[in-house]
Amino acid sequence: MFTQEELIEANTGEDIPSILKVKDLCVDFFLPGGVLRAVNHLDFNLPAKRITGLVGESGSGKTTLTSAILRTVSNPGKITQGSILFEDKDILKLTDKELREFRWRDTAMVFQAAQNCLNPSMTIKEQFIETYLAHKKDLRVDEIAALSSKLLKEVRLEPERVLKSFPHEMSGGMKQRVMIAFARILNPSILLLDEPTTALDVITQDYIFNILLGIHESTKMTMLLSTHDIAVVAKTCDYMAVMYGGTIVEMGDIYEMFEFPEHPYTKLLIQAAPSLTGDLKARTAIPGNPPNLMEARKGCIFANRCPYCEEKCRQIEPEAVTVSQGHTVSCHRVKKVE
Ligand SMILES: Nc1ncnc2c1ncn2[C@@H]1O[C@H](COP(=O)(O)OP(=O)(O)O)[C@@H](O)[C@H]1O
Ligand SMILES: [Mg+2]
């Protein structure tokens, strides 16, 4: 899929620092029928100034992980264990005031139905100004309007028209682009994008990913893009983390992940995406069902669907091993490179 030059270029061994370090994170939903563990002892480092794709099927825990980073896990969910370090500060220990500052100023989020968050009774300009002033008071209203215009241009919207519009006067794709501009208003260093285009048509999706790539190119903002569509990750991201049953089973740079996937689930995900392999006949659904997250865990979370499952896999949970720089995988079949 990649040329030799591209592979060499990708593997020059540059050590990318992480901007966010998630350690041993557990998130539980306390339901009437029992406790559902949506995120299970998850470790994850988010590479700074890069776009990382978080890929996994529906229910694998992408939204829960993304919301945990902003401490917005919805009821009856609770973060029950772990730490999330940002600039050596644990987000899970921030005071309410510090948390308000962290949200929007350091990290902003755009999610699937984000456009529904726009206030129907205010113009876009009023909403930009209100959002800015809720966090910072250093700009005058006309300066905030000028900043808003710049950000709207970045998402290829006409500021003159859009700023005076009400949300109902815009299409879904336009509103989602407004939300991306909104997320940038306090110039955060991290942008979390949770299935930002899933509700939109394919053409609009592509258009929005191009816009995001343009923003990344000019700002080098760190992005975490969660999606169930591995083809989106292949087109857009520098790194890929594969999530399954509440943990990250494999992570690495995009070239490694697509050229040398190690985890059986990653391999199956790649095979199941015909637009990636170019072989439409080869499309294979991954057999079996996702794990029941309310049951006690034993062994590898993927064991019951894994074509290579052995007795050990049913009994012992595999630890993450590093197979090459920045490439980690949790599978008993994979041996550590000394
Ligand atoms: N508010 C909630 N109440 C109960 N269970 C939830 C809630 N939100 C998520 N879950 C459960 O947590 C698991 C992970 O969900 P989610 O993070 O939404 O996955 P994804 O975003 O990958 O589709 C799923 O089993 C889901 O049913
Ligand atoms: Mg989700």
What residues have a C-beta under 5 A from ligand 2, the ion? 62-63
Contact 38 CB / ligand 1 (< 6 Å): yes
> Could you give the 3-state DSSP secondary structure of residue 321?
strand
The model's pLDDT over 238-268, given as tens digits with 9 standing for 90+, comes to: 999 999 999 999 999 999 999 999 999 999 9
pLDDT band at 12 (very low <50, low <70, confident <90, very high): very low
- The reported pTM is 0.93
pLDDT band at 8 (very low <50, low <70, confident <90, very high): very low
How far is ligand 1, taken at its centre, from the CA of residue 16, in Å? 31
Which own/partner contact pairs does 210-218 have at CB distance under 8 Å and 24+ positions apart?
211/154, 211/155, 211/156, 211/177, 211/180, 212/51, 212/180, 212/236, 213/51, 214/154, 215/154, 215/155, 215/180, 215/184, 216/51, 218/154
The model's pLDDT over 212-224, given as tens digits with 9 standing for 90+, comes to: 999 999 999 999 9
Residue 252's DSSP bridge partners are 240
How far is ligand 2, taken at its centre, from the CA of residue 67, in Å? 10
| Predicted local confidence at residue 180, as pLDDT | 95
Are 15 and 260 contacting, i.e. CB atoms less than 8 angstroms apart? no
Q: How far apart are CA 310 and CA 331, in angstroms?
A: 11
| Predicted local confidence at residue 313, as pLDDT | 97
Counting ligand 1 atoms within 8 A of each CB, the residue from 58, 63, 230 with the most, and so the one to mutate, is 63
| Predicted local confidence at residue 309, as pLDDT | 95
Contact 61 CB / ligand 1 (< 6 Å): yes
Report the atom number in ligand 1 closest to the C-alpha of 31. 4
Mean pLDDT of 60-67: 97
User: What's the token pair of residue 281?
Assistant: 């006949």
| Predicted local confidence at residue 279, as pLDDT | 64
Q: In the predicted model, is pLDDT for residue 128 greater than 50?
A: yes
| Predicted local confidence at residue 116, as pLDDT | 79
